[in-house]
Amino acid sequence: MPLAVGTDAPAFTVKDTNGNTVSLSDFAGKTVVLYFYPKDDTPGCTKQACSFRDAKDDYQGKDIVVLGVSADDEASHQAFTQKYNLNFPLLADTDHSLIKAYDVDGGGYAKRVTYVIDAQGKIAHVDASVNTATHAGDVLAALGLN
């Protein structure tokens, strides 16, 4: 069961695509789209990532940060990012700490769930019924920004 709207988003510190340390606190004052997905370079996950890539212009100027999360490691994320020219960071949750904290454990992989975290660190929106092809636009629509 996904975390409820209005609750504090669990803090995290993990490595991103390029081995940089990323924490939720790095984005204080911004809206964070934290989307969990099962596996790099699979059909649905690729559609979902590319929907965010292609919506970059729609997200710019809105103080929104997009972060993808799966249990894949940095090397897998780097290959996925390069293959599809992704323009946002992927977080390597190899120990499943984020997957567990955000209650999206699908038994060894992340369930496809998206959390929108507001500027105060609260969960503002949850999407557990993701349409991978239109997801980036769906998130903006849910926030009233499209």
Are 67 and 110 within 8 A, CB to CB?
no
For residues 131 and 2, give the distance between their C-alpha atoms in angstroms, rounded to a whole number.
17
Question: In the Cβ-directed half-sphere of 136, how many Cα atoms lie within 13 Å?
Answer: 23
Residue-level pLDDT at 146:
66
pTM of this prediction? Answer: 0.95
50 is catalytic: no
67 and 34 Cβ atoms separated by less than 8 Å: yes
pLDDT digits (tens, 9 = 90+) for 22-62: 999 999 999 999 999 999 999 999 999 999 999 998 888 88
Of 24, 45, 66, 110, the catalytic one is: 45
**Neighbouring residues of 129: CB distance < 8 A, sequence distance ≥ 6:** none
Question: What pLDDT, in 10s, does the model give residues 57-112?
Answer: 888 888 899 999 999 999 999 999 999 999 999 999 999 999 999 999 999 899 99
State pLDDT tens for residues 109-122: 999 999 999 999 99
The rounded distance, in Å, linking the Cα atoms of 115 and 126 is 5
